[in-house]
A = this chain, B = another copy of it.
């Protein structure tokens, strides 16, 4: 599989949904496979909150593969011998695209909290500019889970002629208060950490130990990615260590899991990027500029495939089902497929239980449109 990583610089303004303007910006992206002569074999993959453009393959010297590697590659479900796959690091993220810590060319200083609030729509429009530059006029399919699914839905509504097939996993059409509440813990954690200094931190300070309160906020996220059932299955009441005599004083496995994931994340992810991305998720509402969900969905030309997970406590199956029933009520039931996967992995399932849903992705990619 041919992997290419690149940065595209755009020296033209991006008009943001908020009314503000990003004068210029970079997008870091990765591609797998090759664009064919007709330029009609593109599959756009959108990453989630903490993901990056590195969706598949392994970099030299790395032990880990990209975040959706089991699905993307030569001979895999998203077959890179046929398709040209592209994944763009979203605006605001800290893996190479323009973010709050990017240097403002005018002031030579990082933008930090002067960085504008972004929306999912802003992220999507910036990516469209990249596809245009690459000469891609339409995508065979676009795929995303969680925040990636929000981008997919948004692109299907706002760029209907670009999108032939849209596959959404573990996502919603409008972020609910439960998800906003979990994000709130991270926001408060970051904001109140004494080392955050109202955004004027020195990132080098975090190399050895991330912001402690950011880590707590991320631990909260890790609760929301699981579910009571998945936690029972994964951890139960198991102790990781006791003091020998009395397990009363021991530490639970679930506590160790949270500590590890919270602290390691706080070391590797920029807190300002996190603030801006969860803000974009919180304010995502596919109905915002429309009278209703129906009024929004009616713009979609793509064949929609919705994959929900039974145990998802962050974006409940009911939310994706609402997209399906709204399409049906509009007399467009033939343009939507919905599957609710029986899973105990909670929201994380779209990154774990590939064998339970890859069939639906295969079917969606092969669907006549």
Contact = CB atoms under 8 A, between A and B. Distances in A.
A235 to B, nearest CB: 4
A220 interface: yes
Contacts of A110: none
Contacts of A189: 213, 216
Nearest to A314: B228
A241 interface: no
A201 interface: no
A317 to B, nearest CB: 11
A184 to B, nearest CB: 5
Interface in A40-77: none
Contacts of A14: none
B18 A220 contact: no
A176 B285 contact: no
A190 to B, nearest CB: 10
Interface residues of A, number: 55
Contacts of A215: 188
A282 interface: yes
A17 B213 contact: no
Contacts of A178: 223, 226-228, 231-232
Given A117-B248, A248-B117, A316-B228, A177 B216 contact: no
B220 A185 contact: yes
A248 B17 contact: yes
Question: Counting chain B CB atoms within 10 Å of each CB, which of A19, A220, A227 scores highest?
Answer: A220
Question: Counting chain B CB atoms within 10 Å of each CB, which of A231, A234, A262, A288 scores highest?
Answer: A231
A203 interface: no
Contacts of A216: 185, 188-189, 192, 213, 216-217
Contact of A119 (B219, B226, B248, B288): B248
B228 A176 contact: yes
A182 interface: yes
Given A192-B216, A220-B185, A236 B177 contact: yes
Contacts of A231: 176-178, 181
A232 to B, nearest CB: 6
Interface string A255-280: 10011001000000000000000000
21 contacts: A18-B248, A117-B249, A176-B228, A176-B237, A177-B234, A177-B237, A177-B252, A177-B254, A178-B228, A180-B254, A181-B254, A184-B255, A185-B219, A188-B212, A188-B262, A192-B213, A213-B216, A216-B216, A220-B223, A228-B316, A237-B285
Interface of A: 17-19, 117, 119, 174-178, 180-182, 184-185, 188-189, 192, 194, 212-213, 215-217, 219-220, 222-223, 226-228, 231-232, 234-237, 245-249, 252-255, 258-259, 262, 282-283, 285, 288, 313, 316
